[in-house]
Amino acid sequence: MMKNRLYFPLAMALFGASGVVAADSPATGFYVGAGLGKAYADLDEGDVTQPLANAGFAIAGSSKEDDATSWRLFFGLRLNPYLALEATWLDLGEYEIKTDIGGSNPGHLRSTLDAGSTFNLGLVAGYPFTDRVHGFAKLGAVVWSADVESRAYLASGSAISKDDDSGTDLSFGLGVSVDLTEQIAVRGDWDRYQFGGKVDTDIDVWSVGIQYRF
């Protein structure tokens, strides 16, 4: 995983970009928006298969569904022409690892991670490529909760286990917005949300959205 490689360049982009802004950009004010995209979880099948193999199960194969549809609602406050505070409520979806078990007790195990509803708060710094096209960098904190469930269906019977965890971790991202009018813009975002604790995974989200400035 590349959890540490982007911190320094992102911080430089975030604070370095804060010194430049398009002349016609609003100085302060509120904006709202919504977006839809695709989320990808950094799942490792070995996290499931290795403990099973250590317990004596014969692993016949595994597969994963590490992508899900994601949506977001965001609310921003421009603090000055260069910097904004942005709050985002988003759904990161559900992911699955399926493990096939052979040997004398065949069957399969279905493990799911439900990232569910997540809240993010961060700073957004902008850089104007043209009067209408702006790049931006984001750095913030994600407040997350997740449910993990495993269901085993074996020749000897079935079983289920559930667990959950929550925490506050780092988030960062990059994006581009294009002004359609003085108030309406479309934007494309890439975001990485880090989940620590027992979940210990990163979720990347690529999304497109629309933004309205008051």
Is 107 within a domain?
yes
Helices (H), the chain: 7-16, 46-54
> Could you tell me which residues are beta bridge partners of residue 153?
108, 158
Give per-residue pLDDT as tens, 63-87. Answer: 999 999 999 999 999 998 789 999 9
Rounded CA gap, 97 and 80, in Å?
Answer: 45
- On whether the CB atoms of residues 76 and 86 are closer than 8 A, the answer is yes
Is a pLDDT exceeding 90 seen at residue 90? yes
Give per-residue pLDDT as tens, 107-142. Answer: 999 999 999 889 999 999 998 899 899 999 999 999
Residue 171: which residues within 8 A CB-CB, separation 6 or more?
Answer: 120, 122, 138, 139, 140, 141, 142, 191, 192, 193, 194
pTM score of the predicted model: 0.83
Which residue do the tokens 């913030």 mark?
Answer: 140
> pLDDT at position 169, please?
97
Rounded CA gap, 140 and 198, in Å?
Answer: 21
Is 1 within a domain?
no
Is 141 within a domain?
yes
Structural domains in the chain (count)? 1
> pLDDT at position 2, please?
45
Of 206, 209, 205, give the one whose Cα is nearest residue 186.
209
CATH number reported for the structural domain that contains residue 132 in this entry: 2.40.160.20
Q: What is the CA radius of gyration of the chain?
A: 21
Rounded CA gap, 178 and 134, in Å?
Answer: 6
Is 2 within a domain?
no
Rounded CA gap, 211 and 184, in Å?
Answer: 6
- On whether the CB atoms of residues 33 and 10 are closer than 8 A, the answer is no
Tokens of residue 50, six digits: 């290795």
Give per-residue pLDDT as tens, 1-36. Answer: 444 444 444 444 444 433 334 444 556 899 999 999
Q: What is the average per-residue pLDDT within 172-192?
A: 96
Tokens of residue 107, six digits: 């069957």
> pLDDT at position 13, please?
43
User: Which structural domain, as residue segments, surrounds residue 30?
Assistant: 7-213
